[in-house]
Amino acid sequence: MRYINFKALVLEGKRKISLKYVTFKEKLKSNQVIVKINFSGICGKQIEEYTHQKGVDKFIPHLLGHEGSGKIVKIGPNVKNFRIGDHVVIHWMRNSNISDSKTPIFNYRNSNKKINAGWVTTFSEYSVISSNRITKINKKIDMKLAALMGCCLSTGIGTVFNQAKISKYDSPLVVGCGGVGLSVIIGLKLKNLKNISAADIKNINLKKAKNLGANTTLKLKKNKLKRFKSKFNKVFITTGSKIAIENAIFCAADKSDIYFVGVPSPNDKISIKPFEIHNGKKLHPSSGGDIIPNKHIPIYIEKLKSKSKILKSFIINEISINKAPNIILSMSKGKLNYGRNLIKF
C-alpha cells in the first residue's frame, strides 16, 4: 500500500463541509497506523468546528472526527502491541504510555493542495492515526458499540465510574440529555442507581432519557426549577447552556459534587453565590471521564456488550458518508442530538 485514495468529509469553511476524494502519499512516520474505518460517531465537537463556534479555524481545510472503530491495515515504524488486522476503538483521549506521532498531511486527489488533520480523524473511509489514539479490542465485539466508546459512552460512563464515586444512596441529576448526558445515565444504571433524574429543554431528549433509565424527568425553562432547590447531591452538567448550568447549580444540595462534562463557550459567564461554595457545593472539571483508554474501554465494552437494547436505543441514525453532511446540518440547528448518529463505511 504505497498510497491510498479514499472518500472523506473535508471541512473547507464555516458551515462548508464537502465529500471529496483524498489521497495519502506519504510514508508512515513513527507511531502512525492506517485504519480502515467501519463506523464513526458524529460528536458535538465536530458541530462546533462546522459552525466555527470557538472562532476562526486556522487549519482549514481539514479532516474531521474523533470517535470510531476500524481495522488496522498498515503499521508504521516503532508501533508496538498492534498488528495488521487488529480491530480497534479510535479515541481522542491518548494512551499516555505511547508518544504522539506527527500529524499527517493529505491531498485532494487531483491536486497538490494540502488537507490538514490531527492525530485522529474518522469521517473518512481510511485514516492515518497516532497509535496512542487506538485501543485493541476482541474481533467479536460489535463495531458500532466500539465506535461509541471512542468518546461519547466512555466519557459518560467514565465520569460516573472514575470521578463521581457514586453510591446507592446518592441522588444524581443529569442536566442535558444529548449523547454524553444519556451516556452518564447509562453509567448510573450500570452502578445500579435507583433514583436518577434528568433535565433537558426538549421533550424528545427527556423521553430518550427515560428509555435509558432515568426515573424522573425535569423540563428546563428560563426560570429556575424552584421545587428542586438543593435536592441533588451529584449533578452532571453535559451542556454548555448558561440557563441549564445555573439551573443545575441551583438544584445541587449543600455538600454536593457538580461535574462540568459539557464544554461551555469560553465567553459565557454564570452567576453563583459565594455562600453556596462556602456551604460545600464543589465544582469539578471533567475531560473525557478521566479515562485511560486501553484500561477502561475494554471494561466498559464488557459491561455493555450483552445490552443490545441500550445500543439500539442510543443510536439515532446509521448513515452513509454521502448523507452525513445533511445530518451535520440538522445537528447544527439543534436537532438529532438525543443519542448518537453513526456514519457507516
Domain ranges of the chain: 4-150+311-344, 154-289
CA 174 – CA 189 distance, rounded (Å): 12
DSSP-derived 3-state class of residue 189: helix
pLDDT given for residue 220 in this prediction: 87
CA angle 225, 230, 232 (to 5 degrees): 95
The residues near 199 (Cβ < 8 Å, ≥ 6 apart) are 173, 174, 175, 176, 177, 206, 217, 218, 219, 220, 225, 244, 247, 248, 251
The x, y and z cell numbers of residue 117, run together, are: 488533520
pLDDT computed for residue 195 by the predictor: 94
Q: Which three cell numbers stand for residue 279?
A: 456551604
Q: Are 280 and 254 in contact (CB under 8 A)?
A: yes
Selection from 92, 44, 11 nearest residue 263 by Cα? 44
pLDDT at residue 268 greater than cutoff 90? no
Residue 128: pLDDT band by 50, 70, 90 thresholds? very high
pLDDT band at 229 (very low <50, low <70, confident <90, very high): confident
CB atoms within 10 A of CB 245: 23
Structurally, at CATH architecture level, domain 4-150+311-344 sits in Alpha-Beta Complex (3.90)
The closest of 150, 165, 95 to 300, measured between CA atoms, is: 150
The average pLDDT across 90-111 equals: 94
**Would you state the pLDDT for residue 263?**
84
pLDDT digits (tens, 9 = 90+) for 152-196: 999 999 999 999 989 989 999 999 999 999 999 999 999 999 899
Q: What is the pLDDT of residue 2?
A: 65
Quick one: what percent of the chain has pLDDT higher than 70? 99
Alpha-carbon gap, residue 129 to 89, rounded angstroms: 11
DSSP symbol at 315:
E
Q: Is the confidence at residue 226, as pLDDT, over 90?
A: no
With cut-offs at 50, 70 and 90, classify the pLDDT of residue 221: confident
The confidence score (pLDDT) of residue 3 equals 78
Q: Does the pLDDT of residue 96 top 90, yes or no?
A: no
Cα–Cα dist 301/6, whole Å: 29
Q: Which helix (H) or strand (E) holds 114?
A: strand 114-115
Average pLDDT in the 134-153 region? 98
Q: Report residue 1's pLDDT band, with 50, 70 and 90 as the boundaries.
A: low
Q: Please state, rounded to an integer, the average pLDDT across all residues of the chain.
A: 95
Greater confidence, 69 or 271?
69
Residue closest to 204 by CA, chosen among 50, 319, 335: 335
Which residues neighbour 47 within 8 Å (Cβ) at sequence distance 6 or greater?
53, 328, 331, 332
Q: With bands split at pLDDT 50, 70 and 90, how would you rate the model's confidence at 288?
A: very high
In one letter, which amino acid is 59? F
Query: Structure pTM?
Result: 0.96
Instruction: Among 227-236, 285-294, 321-330, name the one with the lowest average pLDDT.
Output: 227-236
Strands 62-63 and 4-13: what pairing? antiparallel
Mean pLDDT for 264-277 is 88
Is residue 225 predicted with pLDDT exceeding 80? no
Split at pLDDT 50, 70, 90, the class of 137 is very high
Report CA Rg, the chain.
Answer: 20
Which of the four CATH numbers 1.20.1250.20, 3.40.50.2300, 3.80.10.10, 3.40.50.720 does domain 154-289 have?
Answer: 3.40.50.720
Confidence at residue 156, expressed as pLDDT on a 0 to 100 scale: 98
pLDDT for 39-61, tens place per residue?
999 999 999 999 998 888 999 99
Mean pLDDT within 91-97: 93
Percent of the chain residues past pLDDT 90, beyond the cut: 86
Q: Apex CA 229: angle with CA 228 and CA 233, to 5°?
A: 90
Q: Which three cell numbers stand for residue 169?
A: 444512596
- What are the residues facing 6 on neighbouring strands? 22
Distance set, CA 39 to CA 35, 79, 118, 134, 294 (Å): 11, 23, 18, 14, 19
Rounded to whole angstroms, the maximal C-alpha distance in the chain is 64
